[in-house]
Chains A and B, each alone.
Chain A
Amino acid sequence: MGVLDRWRRIGPRPRKVLVVSCHPCDHGLLVAARDRVLEALATSHVEMRHRDLYAEGFDPTLSADEHATHLEPGVGPALRSHADDLTWCDTVVFVYPTWWSGQPAMLKGWFDRVWASGVAWELPDGADRLRPGLRNVRRIVAVTTHGSNKLTNAAQGEGGKRTLFRSVRAMCHPLTRCHWWAFYGVDVRSDDDRRAWLDTIGERTRSMFDR
């Protein structure tokens, strides 16, 4: 047994990474970025789970019944494996295209339905703010592409970044670290820029998890 294997056996436990990806197509820059992330994780010392919301046909619509019982802890049977992934991981990697300055409806619906009472938060009697419930999550990574340039995105209010790094992060561990790996101006940038960005995504993923 080599030194490295020994260290892995007695050293820190592998990180538990949940990758949540969201794109309707199976080609394009964002899909390539997703594959780079998955490849890098496959060769790193991590345990990984991957949810591809479009591929599994996730239903993003919060129903009337779910709304009526949204203060009761727990989720329905269809969402239990999603909730289980969320309470298992210590790192969440979101891979999605930015549309109308935020997460696609498919991913927004995943938050609306899976980040439910008893999973992501609890609301004690009389309180007017949620108590965080995902102290197991200590790192949030966002990999996203923007059609607009960075300046336009700033004028549009950077909704997607705020959702992940403020509202979502507030339900996680207080020391959760956030990483924003974004590509702006998809429609006008050159192929060289795209290739360079994809390489960066792979390198960053490897250097973050392979230690």
Chain B
Amino acid sequence: MTHVLVVSCHPRPDSFTAHLVSRATSGLERAGHDVEHLDLYAIDFTTAMSRDEREAYHGDEPVIDPQVAEHIEAVRRAEAIVFVYPTWWAGVPAKLKGWFERVLVPGVGFRFDERSGKIRPNLTHIRRLVGISTYGSPRWYVRLVNDVGRRTITRTVRVACGWRTRTEWHGLYAIDSSDDAARAAFADRVEAAMEALS
């Protein structure tokens, strides 16, 4: 049994992203995983790093907001993190970007090695990183031109994890012109993949 943290980010509770979260969660729970869910819009997570947080960033106490402290505990408990979000401007929504900046601070996402003076990964307990996203553009365009959200998670956050951390990605492309059948098939695929997550 694995402790899985699901981080989702969409302004509307009736969105397809919210549906994907519930399908992914039921897949994970059927496989016997412990699921903890952070819905960043629903809990009104602060988007941008404040001036005080930035001033404290490189100090001994980089965490000021108690909500951020709770999220850090959730990250430390997790063995897998599943991100569910709509891709905007090829990347993660600002609120999710702010979550990386405010939660994965020094001592959580990475640490400074005293001896070498270098930055070392600190998310080595995370065994799986999963991204589930919807795109306005068709797949060929996203893959050809840009997919910064996927890179942010499977490369930038991945670099902060251990050598053996595996990533997986599920994308629904050209969502504006997709029909109900395509969306239902994608939701089924997401649920099955989450049930198979090991």
Contacts and interface: CB of A to CB of B under 8 A. Distances in A.
Are A and B interaction partners?
A: yes
Interface of A: 23-25, 54, 60-64, 66-68, 99-106, 108-109, 111-112, 115, 123, 126-130, 147-148, 152, 155-160, 162-163, 166-168, 170, 188
A188 to B, nearest CB: 7
A128 B176 contact: yes
8 cross-chain pairs, A with B, having the tightest CB-CB distances, nearest first: A105-B98, A109-B94, A157-B151, A157-B155, A167-B90, A64-B11, A159-B148, A108-B94
Given A128-B176, A163-B148, A62 B11 contact: yes
Interface string B174-196: 10110000000000000000000
Contacts of B97: 100, 102-105, 108
Nearest to B150: A157
A66 B88 CA distance: 13
Given A100-B100, A104-B48, A128-B174, A162 B95 contact: no
Contacts of A66: 11
A163 B146 contact: yes
Contact of B51 (A24, A63, A162, A166): A24
A109 B100 contact: no
B67 interface: no
A92 B72 CA distance: 37
Given A100-B97, A123-B176, A63 B11 contact: yes
Nearest to A156: B156
B141 A129 contact: yes
Contact of A102 (B104, B148, B159): B148
B93 A112 contact: yes
A75 to B, nearest CB: 15
B6 to A, nearest CB: 20
B47 A162 contact: no
Given A129-B141, A167-B148, A62 B93 contact: yes
B151 A159 contact: yes
A162 B12 contact: no
A147 B109 CA distance: 14
Nearest to A106: B48
Given A24-B54, A67-B11, A105 B94 contact: yes
Interface in B79-94: 88-94
- With most chain B CB atoms within 10 A of its CB, the pick from A66, A109, A111, A158 is A109
B138 interface: yes
Contacts of A162: 90, 146, 148, 151
A68 B12 CA distance: 8
A130 B136 contact: yes
A103 B151 CA distance: 13
Given A25-B55, A147-B119, A104 B49 contact: yes
Interface string B133-153: 000111001000110100110
B171 to A, nearest CB: 14
Given A64-B12, A100-B152, A112-B89, 20 more contacts: A25-B55, A61-B47, A61-B95, A64-B41, A67-B15, A100-B104, A104-B97, A105-B94, A109-B47, A129-B137, A155-B155, A156-B159, A157-B148, A157-B155, A163-B146, A166-B90, A166-B145, A167-B90, A167-B91, A167-B145
B73 interface: no
A99 B156 CA distance: 10
